Amino acid sequence: MRPLLKSQSGFTLVELLVSLVIIAILSVAVSTMLVGAAKTNLFVLNETDAVSQAENALRRIMHNLRTASAISAPATMTSSSTLTLVTQTDPATGNPYTITYTLTGTTLTESDPRYNTSGGSPNTIASNVSAFSVTRNSLSSPQTVTVMITVGTAAPVSRSVTIYCRNL
């Protein structure tokens, strides 16, 4: 019987412990890389969302400013956190509309009677906004307006644009 037992080979306790230590070291390295990748992914998602919100909000504001028939606020060439304008006459209704963009806390809202949600509450066009300013650069024709918006917290995204109002 003894010769049969000696011919069977197996792992010693030391070999098993060494292999477990190697597996533990590799699993720590892989988990560290995965945590870093998750943090990078979250940062990129937040940054992309901030850029998208800032640019979409500016596009809406630019469109309405370019075709506006009047600007109520800011009335002077000072900076303001509110923009109020009057649209051209709507061919469907025969009426102009007053649109107001306001920064309330960290939310940039658009109050447009054509698109307001039920109950007349303004639409949110950007959230997590840390700065919004509107400055009229001239009061005579052609009027220009500079709009600046900053969105995000960790790495804020700022966009600024000067708009030439076609009808003013």
Tell me: the pLDDT tens digits for 53-64? 899 999 999 988
Does position 29 have pLDDT exceeding 70, yes or no? yes
9 compared with 17, residue with greater pLDDT: 17
Give the DSSP per-residue string, the chain.
-HHHHHH-----HHHHHHHHHHHHHHHHHHHHHHHHHHHHHHHHHHHHHHHHHHHHHHHHHHHHHHT-SEEEES-SSSEESEEEEEPPPPTTTS---EEEEEEETTEEEEE-TTTPPGGGPPEEEEESEEEEEEEES-SSSSPEEEEEEEE-SSS-EEEEEEEE-TT-
pLDDT, tens only, 39-54: 999 888 888 888 898 9
Structure tokens at 165: 């109002």
What whole-number percentage of the chain has pLDDT above 90? Answer: 36
**pLDDT score of 5:** 55
pLDDT, tens only, 104-145: 899 999 998 887 766 678 888 998 999 999 998 888 878 889
**pLDDT score of 6:** 59
Note the pTM of the prediction, 2 decimals.
0.73
Query: Is residue 33 very low, low, confident or very high in pLDDT (cuts 50, 70, 90)?
Result: very high
Supply the mean pLDDT for the chain: 86
**pLDDT score of 154:** 77
